[in-house]
């Protein structure tokens, strides 16, 4: 069974793929939503970590990676879960806060202390407009991002190109997804009921 098929089953089985009337970050409506915040058990964390690890191993690889970066909020779990499932060596994780902590250790970063010139992978749940990914890269100006790895590429388009393509043109950082929205819709044909699947297809082709 392909990784895409397994991951689609995981998204449905773990109720990460939700159906209803949702408003996306850009203000548009959607009949479904990808909620990686639904992950809440050790087994689920192990599973998602295995999926990300496998996708990284077959694409950008881990050999040149000094640390994983999981920006706030849901990506912190994805980075930690992936690092835990990588057994070849200890793989540090960097996390950041949206607002600086004003007590204790203070600052916006915790976990791994990145050094100038270190290389990292940025992990996140979905690729939508790509704006938050650009902000994440800008927060680490002295380090080099080898790639952005996301669970689902929603394939948002502008001027005939996807957000992932535009992001890579702007930053020279490749984007890898475990599954694209087109592939997810295709894989869900027999995983969700016909009405929900039809709504997904209509959203994809609108």
* Torsions phi, psi for 120 (to 5 deg): -145, 165
Q: What percentage of the chain reaches a pLDDT higher than 90? A: 76
pLDDT tens string 64-81:
999 999 998 899 999 999
- Residue 153, domain extent: 3-204
Give the rounded percent of residues in the chain with a pLDDT score beyond 70: 95
pLDDT of residue 109: 86
The SS3 assignment for 16 reads: coil
Token representation of residue 19: 């159906």
Question: How many separate domains does the chain show?
Answer: 1
Pair 187, 1: CB distance under 8 Å:
no
Asked if the model's pLDDT at residue 87 lies above 60, the reply is yes
pLDDT digits (tens, 9 = 90+) for 34-74: 999 999 999 999 999 999 999 999 999 999 999 999 998 89
* pLDDT higher than 90, residue 94: yes
pLDDT of residue 101: 53
Active site members: 101, 103
Residue 97 is predicted with a pLDDT of 80
CATH number at residue 114: 3.40.50.2020
pLDDT of residue 20: 93
| Residue 31: half-sphere exposure toward Cβ, Cα within 13 Å | 13
User: What is the dihedral sign for C-alpha 201, 163, 110, 66?
Assistant: positive
pLDDT digits (tens, 9 = 90+) for 117-171: 999 999 999 998 878 899 999 999 999 999 999 999 988 887 788 989 999 999 9
Per-residue b or e along 84-105, where b marks 16 or more CB atoms closer than 10 Å to that residue's CB:
bbbeeeebbbbbbeeeeeeeee
In this prediction, residue 106 has a pLDDT band, given cuts at 50, 70 and 90, of very low
Q: For 39-95, give the DSSP string.
A: --SHHHHHHHHHHHHHHHHTTT-STT--EEEE-TTHHHHHHHHHHHH--SS---EEE
> Residue 206 above 90 pLDDT?
no
For the CA atoms of 77, 118, 146, 161, what is the dihedral angle to 10 degrees? Answer: 90
Cis peptide before 73 (omega within 30 of 0): yes
**CA separation (Å) from 122 to 15, 103, 137, 183?**
24, 27, 8, 22
């Amino acid at each position: 069974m392909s990784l895409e098929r397994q991951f689609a089953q995981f998204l449905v089985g773990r109720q990460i793929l939700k159906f209803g009337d949702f408003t996306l970050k850009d203000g548009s409506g959607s009949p479904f939503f990808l909620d990686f915040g639904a992950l809440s058990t050790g087994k689920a964390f192990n599973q998602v970590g295995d999926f990300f690890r496998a996708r990284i191993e077959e694409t950008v690889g881990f050999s040149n990676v000094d640390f994983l970066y999981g920006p706030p909020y849901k990506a912190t779990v994805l980075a930690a879960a992936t690092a835990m499932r990588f057994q070849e060596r200890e793989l540090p994780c960097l996390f950041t806060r949206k607002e600086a902590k004003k007590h204790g250790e203070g600052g916006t970063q915790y976990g791994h202390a990145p050094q100038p010139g270190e290389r990292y992978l940025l992990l996140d749940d979905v690729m939508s407009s790509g704006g938050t990914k650009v902000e994440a890269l800008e927060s680490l100006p002295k380090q080099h991002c080898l790639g952005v790895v996301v669970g689902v590429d929603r394939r948002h388009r502008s001027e005939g190109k996807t957000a992932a393509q535009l992001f890579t043109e702007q930053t020279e950082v490749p984007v890898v997804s475990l599954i694209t929205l087109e592939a997810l819709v295709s894989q869900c044909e027999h995983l969700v009921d016909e009405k929900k699947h039809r709504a997904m297809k209509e959203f994809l082709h609108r």
